[in-house]
Amino acid sequence: MAARKTGLGRGLEALLPTGDGDEGFALLPIDAISTNPQQPRSRFDDEALESLAASIREVGVLQPIVVRQTAEDEYQLVAGERRWRAAEKVGLGVIPAIIRDGDDVSGLTEALIENLQREDLTPLEEAAAYRQLMEDFGLTHEDVALRVGKSRSAVSNTLRLLNLPAVIQGLLEAGELSAGHARALLAVDDVRYAEHLARRAAEEGWPVRRVEEAVRARTEPAQPRAARQAPTARPAEILELEERLTDRLGSTVRIDYGAKGGKVVIRFGSLDDLERVYRALLG
């Protein structure tokens, strides 16, 4: 069966370089693709895979895998095994793929970056493209930011959207919520409540500020009326350090500091995300 050329939506199609002959974009049958025996990563966290599978059920495969053809109607993974496994878990029959000659994907990296810079993508499509550059081609937040002409914090904040529950990702991808709504909801640890707020915001047309207020009401415990007082201004150096750590780690960082010391709280969305934070700390 020959690979079928198709359009999968404005954003995904925009990211895909096209080529002549067997090199380019195609929808390939899941069972026509085999793993690469030389893939150094042999273990995939079940919880992280389930999270990715839930996202795929809701918004589809936003990032194409990369394969090379090994025989007629047979392909081997070059990059994107996590997406392939998650798509298989969902029960998809086909998956978007870029077919390359051999294992050289350096040209693909540059093509993805070039299209990222000029196309009007949805926030999730942009986030998915950043993650593809990082996971498949070993780029850091700093590398991606430099190549697409954005700040590292802008790239990191966009990537954080991929930590949202699948339901909220679906509302964001459908245009019923903005990236501002979605970023506000990242602060809610209770997934069901976050989804509840997202649905109300979408159905009732809440502005971002109202979502932020609802999130604060949930995450900041109310004080007795008599005990309420103007909040103490936090030291500027603590706020700056929070911002720098958030930028460096790509995850929200909160520093609670007092006369007897304090603590640093780092948010993460999955075990894979925690591993990414760990590596960023080591680096």
Strand pairing class (261-266; 94-100): unpaired
Helices (H), the chain: 10-15, 46-59, 81-90, 106-118, 123-137, 141-148, 152-159, 166-173, 179-185, 191-204, 208-219, 236-249, 271-282
Location of structure tokens 């498949």:
136
Residue 241 near residue 229 (C-beta atoms within 8 A): no
Is residue 119 annotated as a catalytic residue, yes or no? no
Domains of the chain, residue spans: 10-158, 175-219, 235-282
Question: What pTM was estimated for this model as a whole?
Answer: 0.57
Of 13, 74, 81, 125, the active-site residue reads 81
For domain 10-158, the CATH architecture is Alpha-Beta Complex (3.90)
Using CA atoms, how far apart are residues 96 and 65, in angstroms rounded to an integer?
Answer: 7
Q: What angle do CA 241, 211, 197 make, to 5 degrees?
A: 120
Strand pairing class (65-71; 261-266): unpaired
Q: List the pLDDT tens digit at each of the 283 positions of the chain.
A: 333 333 333 344 444 444 444 457 788 999 999 887 655 455 666 777 888 888 888 888 887 888 888 888 889 888 788 889 889 988 888 998 888 775 555 566 666 666 666 556 778 888 888 887 887 777 888 888 888 888 888 888 888 898 888 899 989 988 899 989 999 998 888 888 999 999 999 999 999 999 988 888 887 665 555 445 555 666 777 777 887 787 777 777 888 877 777 888 887 766 767 777 777 787 6
SS3 50: helix
